Chain A
Amino acid sequence: DAGVIQSPRHEVTEMGQEVTLRCKPISGHNSLFWYRQTMMRGLELLIYFNNNVPIDDSGMPEDRFSAKMPNASFSTLKIQPSEPRDSAVYFCASSFGGYYGYTFGSGTRLTVV
Chain B
Amino acid sequence: QQPVQSPQAVILREGEDAVINCSSSKALYSVHWYRQKHGEAPVFLMILLKGGEQKGHEKISASFNEKKQQSSLYLTASQLSYSGTYFCGTSPQAGTALIFGKGTTLSVSS
Chain A residues proximal to chain B, CB less than 8 Å:
31, 33, 35, 42-43, 45, 48, 50, 55-56, 91, 98-107
A31 vs B41: C-alpha distance when bound (angstroms): 18
Taking CB atoms, residues of chain A closer than 8 Å to B43 are 104
- Which listed residue, A31, A42, A99, A107, touches B101 by the CB 8 Å rule? A42
Chain B residues proximal to chain A, CB less than 8 Å:
29-30, 32, 34, 40-47, 49, 87, 89, 91, 94-103
Taking CB atoms, residues of chain A closer than 8 Å to B101 are 42
With A43-B87, A100-B47, A101-B47 as given contacts, are A106 and B41 in contact (CB-CB < 8 Å)?
yes
- Which listed residue, A35, A56, A105, touches B96 by the CB 8 Å rule? A56
Contact B95 A43 (CB under 8 A): no
Q: List 15 A-B contacts (CB under 8 A).
A: A42-B100, A43-B42, A43-B87, A43-B103, A45-B99, A45-B100, A56-B96, A98-B29, A101-B46, A102-B42, A102-B44, A102-B89, A103-B44, A104-B43, A105-B41
Contact B98 A102 (CB under 8 A): yes
Contact A107 B41 (CB under 8 A): yes
A101 vs B96: C-alpha distance when bound (angstroms): 13
A21 vs B12: C-alpha distance when bound (angstroms): 38
B68 to chain A, nearest CB (A): 22
Contact A50 B95 (CB under 8 A): yes
List 14 extra interface pairs beyond A33-B98, A43-B103, A101-B45, CB under 8 A.
A42-B102, A43-B100, A45-B99, A45-B100, A55-B96, A55-B97, A98-B95, A101-B46, A102-B32, A102-B42, A102-B89, A102-B98, A105-B41, A107-B41
Taking CB atoms, residues of chain B closer than 8 Å to A55 are 95-97
Contact B97 A56 (CB under 8 A): yes
Taking CB atoms, residues of chain B closer than 8 Å to A50 are 95
A33 vs B96: C-alpha distance when bound (angstroms): 10
